[in-house]
Amino acid sequence: MRPVTCLQACRPSVPLGIVTLCLMARWTFQAQGEVSLHVPQPNVNTTVEQNILLSVAYTCEGTPIIKWKHTSPRGTTEIAEWKPGSYTNISISYEGRVNVYENGSLQLLKVDLRDSGYYLVTVRDKSGFTIYGTILLNVYEILYEDLHFVAVFFAFLTAVSAILICFMWLCNKSIHLLQERQQLKASTTEETELQMMDVS
């Protein structure tokens, strides 16, 4: 391996120029073989039913193989593996739910609470160099924290209480009416009884 040779060569006794040369050689060596991966947003927060782009971009010599996995407390699931311009392999459980992009990005359609967790992306170039990236996705339920909802809710409560008050008032009124009617009935029977007594 080149880096090991470099370390052995770069003894303190060796002039600084050679050290620099060694480092430069090592840097060139790495730049040729390595793949690099840019993850602009490693933490994504969203709500259910949204379409989410897990955005990454790689730089690599030739065309790499890209692989995405999902890890959550439920376990690890393979999502997709593809080689841009060559093939795309999407696992059965994600069929129709994902879109893949040439830059390595993955789009999840209509996310669910269960889609929360870590997404691990692997980019492997033709010589086998591999680089990893992770994105943490948090999927939340829709929260009705906007004032509009609160206002509507209070209006609804007011309407319900108004209806209840009306209903109670009506009940009260009808009970009174019934009582009055019964009293009237009682008094009329008394009267007829009195009349009957008179007759006899």
Q: What are phi and psi of 128, to 5 degrees?
A: 95, 0
Mutual angle of helices 2-9 and 16-33, in 10-degree steps: 170
What residues from 117 to 176 belong to the interface with ligand NAG (CB under 6 A)? 138
In the complex with ligand NAG, which residue's Cβ is closer, 56 or 121? 56
The Cα 73–Cα 82 span in angstroms is 26
In the complex with ligand NAG, which residue's Cβ is closer, 92 or 197? 92
Q: Using CB under 6 A, pick the residue from 45, 127, 179, 189 that binds ligand NAG.
A: 45
Q: Are 4 and 92 in contact (CB under 8 A)?
A: no
Q: Are 52 and 108 in contact (CB under 8 A)?
A: yes
End-to-end CA distance of the chain: 135
Give yes or no for residue 20 binding ligand NAG (CB under 6 A).
no
Q: Using CB under 6 A, pick the residue from 30, 36, 43, 189 that binds ligand NAG.
A: 43
The Cα 96–Cα 92 span in angstroms is 9
What letter does residue 161 receive in the DSSP assignment? H
Give yes or no for residue 10 binding ligand NAG (CB under 6 A).
no
Q: Are 111 and 52 in contact (CB under 8 A)?
A: yes
Q: Using CB under 6 A, pick the residue from 50, 55, 72, 77 that binds ligand NAG.
A: 55
Please identify, among the stretches 35-43, 67-75, 159-167, 172-180, the one whose residues bind ligand NAG according to the rule CB under 6 A. 35-43
Give yes or no for residue 40 binding ligand NAG (CB under 6 A).
yes
What residues from 97 to 116 belong to the interface with ligand NAG (CB under 6 A)? 101, 103, 105
Residues that bind ligand NAG (CB under 6 A): 38, 40, 43, 45, 53, 55-57, 81, 87, 89, 101, 103, 105, 138
